[in-house]
Amino acid sequence: MNRASRREAFLHNDAACAMAIDVISEVPERFGARVHGYALMPDHFHLMVEVPRGNLSAVMQHVGARITQRYNCAMGFDGPLFRGRFKNRVVLDDAYWQHLLAYLHLNPVRAGLARRPEDCMWSSHNAYIGEALADWLTTEELLAMFGSSANIQRYIEDVRLRRLGAPSVFDEHELWTSTPTKVVPSGPADATRSPDQALADVAAVLGVSREGLLKRENRGPRSAHASWIAAWWLLRSTPATRTDVAGILDVSTWRVKQLEAQANRRRKLDGTTRHQMMQLENLLG
- 152 and 239 in one domain? no
Of the three residues 128, 143, 174, the one that is the final residue of a domain is 174
100-103's contacts with Cβ under 8 Å and 24+ in sequence apart are: 100/37, 100/48, 100/170, 101/36, 101/37, 101/48, 101/128, 101/142, 101/152, 101/156, 102/155, 102/156, 102/159, 103/170, 103/172, 103/175
Residues 274 and 147 in one domain: no
Per-residue pLDDT 10s for the chain (285 aa) are: 999 988 889 999 999 999 999 999 999 999 999 999 999 999 999 999 998 888 899 999 999 999 999 999 999 998 899 988 899 888 878 888 999 999 999 999 999 999 999 999 999 999 999 999 999 999 999 999 999 999 999 999 999 998 988 887 777 766 655 444 433 333 334 446 888 999 999 999 988 877 767 765 444 445 678 888 999 899 888 888 888 888 888 888 888 888 888 888 888 788 888 888 888 887 875
Residue 25 lies in a domain: yes
Does 83 fall in a domain? yes
Closest CA to 90 of 201, 177, 195: 177
- Global pTM reads 0.63
Same domain, yes or no: 213 and 79: no
Give the integer Cα–Cα distance in Å for 44 and 104. Answer: 12
Same domain, 24 and 160: yes
One-letter identity of residue 110: R
The total domain count for the chain is 2
Within-domain flag for 24: yes
Q: Within this chain, do residues 41 and 99 fall inside the same structural domain, yes or no?
A: yes
Contacts of 192 (CB under 8 A, 6+ apart): 237, 238, 239
Per-residue model confidence (pLDDT) at position 274:
85
CATH code assigned at 223: 1.10.1750.10
Q: What is the pLDDT of residues 158-198, one digit of tens each?
A: 999 989 888 877 777 666 554 444 333 333 344 468 889 99
- Domain of 35? 2-174
The predicted structure's pLDDT at residue 216: 52
Where do the H-state alpha helices sit in 39-124?
56-75, 94-110
CA gap 259, 99 in Å, rounded:
38
Of 222, 148, 203, the closest CA to residue 214 belongs to: 203
Q: Do 19 and 122 belong together in one domain?
A: yes
Q: Among residues 267, 222, 274, which one has the least CA distance to residue 213?
A: 222
Whether residue 186 lies inside any domain: the answer is no
Q: Are residues 52 and 167 in the same domain?
A: yes
Decide if 104 is inside a domain: yes
- Both 244 and 158 in one domain: the answer is no
* 28 vs 233: CA distance, rounded Å: 14
Mean pLDDT estimate for the chain:
85
Q: Is residue 55 part of a domain?
A: yes
* Residue 190 within a domain: no
CA 107, CA 85: separation in Å to the nearest integer? 21
16 and 97 co-located in one domain? yes
108 and 162, same domain (yes or no): yes
Measured CA to CA, the distance from residue 121 to residue 135 in angstroms comes to 16
Kindly state whether residues 113 and 216 are assigned to the same domain: no
Q: Which residues pair with 62 in a beta bridge?
A: none
